[in-house]
Amino acid sequence: MAVYALGDRVPDIHPDAWVHPDAVVIGNVTLGARASVWPTAVLRGDYGRIVVGAESNIQDGTIIHCTAVDATVIGAGTVVGHNAHIEGSTIGDGCLIGSGSLVLNGSAVGDGAIVAAGALVAPRFQVPPRSMAIGVPAKIREGYEVPEGHVDANAKMYAANAEYYRSALRRID
């Protein structure tokens, strides 16, 4: 895995977290227990800090960055889909950040909420808990409440998958 210190900014990766060898973690990044970071994901904590909570997964191709003003904090048990981009935002526990979505500076996604695939959460936008943000720019889907625990099985599956990869992945070229 490519894990880099940047000056005095050093990643803090829990021993039970897993980072794929083709992912990149730089600087002030904290990964909680059983968090996982998948191929070609980049977490770059150069100007501020990034925190990924326990049992959250950062899927393939995702970019997570922060600014000197806005940290990026992702709660526990959150699923971040393929090719998402999160920049200087706060994501609650048990959220789903859909594939190809963008969540931008100063925005917040409440516990249990969904950001739909391909959605653009504009700077400073607030996604209430257990709601769904959909579209470009994202708007809250009226009259819809996300079922409690909607991503629990996926978060647990990715944590188990990371354990399997830790023991079974081997490069053969």
129: preceding bond cis by omega (within 30 degrees): no
Q: How many domains does the chain have?
A: 1
User: CB neighbours of 170 closer than 8 A, spacing ≥ 6?
Assistant: none
Q: What percent of the chain has pLDDT over 90?
A: 99
User: CB neighbours of 51 closer than 8 A, spacing ≥ 6?
Assistant: 29, 30, 32, 71, 72, 73, 74
146-171 pLDDT, tens per residue?
Answer: 999 999 999 999 999 999 999 999 99
Residue 173 lies in a domain: no
pLDDT at 97: 98
pLDDT at 173: 93
Give the Cα separation of 143 and 134 in Å (integer). Answer: 13
To which H or E segment does residue 158 belong? helix 152-168
pLDDT at 129: 98
Residue 21 lies in a domain: yes
pLDDT at 138: 98
Give the Cα separation of 108 and 37 in Å (integer). Answer: 21
pLDDT at 78: 98
- Residue in 95, 101, 41 with CA at minimum distance from that of residue 73: 95
- In this predicted structure, the answer to whether residue 1 has a pLDDT above a threshold of 80 is no
CATH number at residue 95: 2.160.10.10
Residue 118 lies in a domain: yes
pLDDT at 62: 98
pLDDT at 168: 97
Range of the domain at 48: 2-168
For the chain, the farthest-separated pair of C-alpha atoms sits apart, in whole angstroms, at 52
pLDDT at 98: 98
21-66 pLDDT, tens per residue?
Answer: 999 999 999 999 999 999 999 999 999 999 999 999 999 999 999 9
Give the Cα separation of 84 and 169 in Å (integer). Answer: 24
State pTM to two decimals.
0.96
